[in-house]
Chain A
Amino acid sequence: MQTIEALLLEPVGCLAEFPSSQFHQIAVRLFRRKGKASLSGSRSYWRLLNLLDALDAPLNEEKKRIAEAFEIEAVDAASMYEDVVPALAELKSMGIRLFVTTSLSRKAALRFIERNSLGEFLSGVHTRDDAGGVKSAPLLSALKGASLSPEKTMFLTDTLEGIQAARSAGVHSILMMNDPDEAQRLAMHNPAGGIVSMHEMPDFIRLIDAQNQKTRDL
């Protein structure tokens, strides 16, 4: 792996535990989905993104408003992981450029950033509204907008769809191993790496750097 210069962060499941019900409600209201909400906020979110991704035309204004309102509700109910802020501060001090790249609406993403005081760590925010699409679209928008080199960029995710989105954008998919059983299943899909906690991310990047340094020295 090349020395890492940038990290793309999806708030849902990687920076914070999100509730499932709001994403499920969007699927029910906009796509007439039936059944129970998943226990995992991440899984509900990415299932919803699959539905949004499959649309032939963009959501109309009314549906956009409905989705946004539920997303903001989800942001307000989300609880950020305690290791995130120290890890982001350390990563920033190491010179790693940090971007929120999310399929949430811009309004919901900005609210999440503001509520959790993350603005000072970020070099940019790319949402589905900016990118004109979901899943890999915000990643591609960040790569293009900030002239990032994909092989020097990581995307953190805790779902199979996230791994696939990273792969299709050409960046390294890093599995956030929140749930060991789910992570075991996802590890079989060959993510580029995996961490148990955000506090490991700075060491991950240092290790890659040290490995590359060693190769250069030989």
Chain B
Amino acid sequence: MIVEAIGKISSPELRNASTIGGDLLQEVWCQYLRGGYSCWRNGGYLCYGAIGDNSYYHSAMGGRLCYAVYPGDAATALIPFDARAKLATPQGEKELSIEQMVPGDMLVDGKIQSHVVRYNEILTSVVIPPPKPGVRASFEKLRPRGVWDFAMASLGISVQLHDKTIEDSRVVFGGISGKPYREKTVEAFLKGKTLSAELGDQAVSVALADAAPLKYNATKIDMAKGLLASGLARLNT
């Protein structure tokens, strides 16, 4: 699943020239930030995405000053495997879960960033624990163009099965929030359920109840729910 997810990041040319660290710690791709607007991440004090065109690259799950979505795909795929990151810091090595490293908009060293890596720290490695027995996983991504585009919504999902009963799961949405959005309500709902053709629709009914779309991006939530249904269907095949 991770290989499949990495294969959906950007274009082949950029993928072959880039690093996992670059994907995990990349700056948001808000058109207002990239267009030089004086926004929160650009020395200003206002989010233009919250009041402008927020159809593609802005959060549908609320925000914290900046409403840009976290743009990476790798984190969405790594969190379902409880992957961890190692950082070299002036105080020695530090280890964080990917979820802890990319918690969404944070004030770090006097600026807003999606991750907690400080200016004097370097991401040195990502450790993926061996999958537990009975784990199935899937990565889904919807984007405006087939290659070289960011997720309108994505999903990294893993379920640990005993026969067809779900003992544990990780459900992580990308492209809809300022962080890889772990949907623990769905995880709790899935626990003890049998993987079946109907499970997707049932899971969708409890998913993303905290959605807070901006003016133009409510479709992201529909897309994310669709991905949850299709992700669970894939795991059932």
Contact = CB atoms under 8 A, between A and B. Distances in A.
A13 B25 CA distance: 38
A194 B52 contact: no
A174 B109 CA distance: 24
Interface string A205-218: 01110110111000
Report whether over half of chain B's contact residues are helix, strand or loop; otherwise say mixed.
Answer: loop
A207 B65 contact: yes
B110 A200 contact: no
A181 B45 CA distance: 18
Contacts of B47: 194, 196
B46 to A, nearest CB: 4
Contacts of A180: 50-52, 214-215
Interface in B55-81: 63-65, 67
Contacts of A192: 45
Contacts of B215: 180-181
B65 A203 contact: yes
Contacts of A177: 46, 50-51
A187 B45 contact: no
A210 B110 CA distance: 5
Contacts of B67: 196
A204 B46 CA distance: 10
B48 interface: yes
Contact of B110 (A175, A193, A203, A211): A211
B31 to A, nearest CB: 14
A55 B67 CA distance: 43
B51 A207 contact: no
B110 A196 contact: no
B112 A207 contact: yes
A184 interface: yes
A143 to B, nearest CB: 21
Nearest to A180: B51
A203 B107 contact: yes
A203 B112 CA distance: 10
A196 B50 contact: yes
Contacts of A174: 45
Contacts of B107: 203, 206-207, 210
B166 to A, nearest CB: 35
B212 to A, nearest CB: 10
A204 B107 CA distance: 10
Contacts of B112: 207
A193 B52 contact: no
A187 B111 CA distance: 22
Interface string B105-129: 0010111100000000000000000
A200 B214 contact: no
Interface of B: 40, 44-48, 50-52, 63-65, 67, 107, 109-112, 214-215
6 contacts: A175-B46, A177-B50, A180-B50, A200-B65, A203-B65, A210-B111
